[in-house]
Amino acid sequence: MTKLMRVQLVEGKADEPWGESALLSFRGDDALIHIGAAKDLPLVAAQRAARRLDGMGVTEVVLNGGGWDIESRWAFWAGYFNPKVSKTVNWGTEDGEELKELSARESAARWVREITNGTPDDVSPRVLAESAAEMLQKLAPEAVSYRIIAGDELLREGFVGIHNVGRGSVREPVMLQVDYNPSGDDSAPVDTCLVGKGITFDSGGYSIKPSSNMATMKSDMGGAAMVTGGLALAIARGLDKRVKLYLCCAENMVSGHAFKLGDIIKYKNDVTVEVLNTDAEGRLVLADGLIAASEEAPRWLLDAATLTGAAKMAVGRDFNCVFSFKDDMAQKVLDAATKENEKAWRLPLEPFHLEQTPSSFADISNIGIDGSPGASTAAAFLARFVPNEGRNWVHMDLSGSYQPAANDLWSTGAKGHGVRTIARFLLEN
């Protein structure tokens, strides 16, 4: 077997001795993916076969033959990615538009997967913010500007949620503010604001997590990575609207300086929050980003976060969850996901959920009452920090963004599942 393997999609079943139900068979240096014999959809078959080739140690492939289209090529890349091994995929097409799109997808998704998979020691709040800003600026140097607000400067600007969550770490919390303004006109209206949760490591704070739950918490900045990657892909696709991006970045650690249960945080919009669980910190940092974004009066406001275990319990790790008070807002994201062959599912958010985070000492607490739906009450908490009763706001809880153990579709780690949805949302609405 040579280093370079040719991979073909074929309709027919495998020959003996592979067996007629085989997904993969081999003929010399060619690997044949038998989508006709697969029980799954062709895209799933291509992704599954890529995982098997990765497991065999194949590190360089060319997608050969006429069976491929842009979506099957992309599905193959998604499954072939391995965080431990460098891989090379020759897309096997000379179509300039396809190559441009595939390159844009790979660039955005690779950044999301690699920054999310990075160790918590390497990816501090400032490193995450700087990496996101630099990546976007390289894409559109004339259109992208940014600022980083760090440490005690957060307090001076009223971003008390990020500061409180991050103050227990020796590495300062930061907010990244990015302005993508392709027109160059400082008075141009802001079309959309994106807000992402960037908790680069989550110990749970004084509500400390068990080790088994803490082991994957380098991925708790998946929301910040996802909205950045979505904006990057939209820019590469020709986004011509002004978009502002807010990343709320901190480490949630235990120390003599860490925030504590019983603390009360007063936000810029005068909402007071009693901390009843320091492991419900993502909503505390997102509140700052949502307040800042709302001040821009955008047409649309979307936030994304690896926010709750409840969302994963509801839909597993194949779907991202969508919340909005307004049916049309939720449908915009669901439609974008469908068009991009990504999976998203709407979970309930109703006005009565706003009543399910009571506090005896503040306006609200940061967790729901016993028995309340955790994903919905978390979304309702965020709704307190957006104007107009959440009319133009949608929240994504990224249940499908990270794979704690490899399966037959994904390697262990970040998946980039959601990047295309966000990009399509920006471009089409």
Distance CA 79, CA 205 (A): 35
Q: Are 324 and 395 in contact (CB under 8 A)?
A: yes
| Active-site choice (283, 384, 420, 424) | 283
* Residue 3 β-bridge partners: none
| DSSP E strands, 39-182 | 60-64, 88-90, 144-150, 174-180
Catalytic position from the list 13, 52, 87, 209: 209
Where would I find the beta strands (DSSP E) of 127-203?
144-150, 174-180, 192-202
- For the beta sheet containing 264-266, the strands, ordered from the edge strand earlier in sequence to the opposite edge, are 264-266, 272-274, 364-365
The yes-or-no answer on residue 13 being catalytic is no
Candidates 159, 139, 140, 138; CA nearest to 148 is 159
Inter-residue contact 226 to 421 (CB < 8 Å): no
> Annotated catalytic, 283?
yes
CA–CA gap between residue 246 and residue 198 (Å, rounded): 10
What values do phi and psi take at 5, rounded to 5? -115, 135
Show which residues are catalytic.
Answer: 209, 283
